[in-house]
Structure 1
Amino acid sequence: MAGHSHSQHPASTGGAAKPNTKLIWRTFWILFFITALEFLIAFTMPSGWLRVSIFVIMTLVKAFYIVGEFMHLKGEVKTLIWSIVLPLVFVIWLIIALLLEGDSILQVR
């Protein structure tokens, strides 16, 4: 194999990819800020539907951010995102409907 030389195949650097620490810290601080805001609301707001609604919204925001960052769905096509989000909305609606129906049955007795 005289015609086969090393100059035809470029050598790889062999180094590991540089970690994207800026993105990791940005994700940490965003999630930390939302969680700190949740704790602030938990200890300062009186119990009620407004507080629960704020918690649900903030939890959904954190969930979507985590899914976008850690499951790498942030750059995916909108159809894939909607195929995940739409069933989730219906499942949440079902849980709320079942809780309200269950509560109304208990109120009648």
Structure 2
Amino acid sequence: MEQQTSQVEVKPVNKAKVKNFLKVMWYLAAITAIEFAIAFTVPHEHKWVRIIVFIALTIVKAYYIVSEFMHLGHEKKSLKMSIVLPMLFVVFLIFIMIYQGDAILKALY
């Protein structure tokens, strides 16, 4: 019976991947900081502006997460569209729900 020795080979860090990861991390941190700034500085009278800005910034953050961390940004266009188009319907549904919820709330009060 032969003895097998296992060797662990340490590869050098891929600096381009680390740089890309840090770039995306800083983009996400900046967008989150903008969201916090809007949440604490924009008055409640501008409710619709805040909602639209929050949804838009959330979509931008979701794009970066899906594109870089889930590696969808490096796929073919047909696979990207199979994910992006249903997401557009979900965003449309969110707008409809916000609009209807506001109408129901106004009807009650």
Give the equivalent residue in structure 2 for 1:22: 19
Gaps of 5+ in 1: 1-12
What is the rounded CA distance, in whole Å, between the counterparts of 1:42 and 1:102 in structure 2?
21
Closer, same or farther: CA 14–58 of 1 in aligned 2, 3 Å: same
What is the rounded CA distance, in whole Å, between the counterparts of 1:74 and 1:100 in structure 2?
32
CA displacement at 1:49 relative to structure 2: 0.3
User: Aligned partner of 1:42: which letter?
Assistant: A
User: Aligned partner of 1:18: which letter?
Assistant: V
**Structure with higher RCO (Cα < 8 A, 6+ apart):** 2
The structure where helix makes up a greater share of residues is 2
Give the equivalent residue in structure 2 for 1:3: none
SS of the equivalent of 1:32 reads: helix
Gaps of 5+ in 2: 1-7
Q: How does 1:1-109 map to 2 (within 5 A)?
A: 14-19=9-14, 20-47=17-44, 48-105=47-104, 107-108=106-107
Stretches (4+) displaced over 3 A? 98-109
Aligned length: 97
The alignment's TM-score, normalised by the length of structure 2, stands at 0.74
User: Aligned partner of 2:29: which letter?
Assistant: F
The alignment's TM-score, normalised by the length of structure 1, stands at 0.74
Aligned-pair identity (%): 45
Larger Rg: 1
What is the rounded CA distance, in whole Å, between the counterparts of 2:53 and 2:75 in structure 1?
28
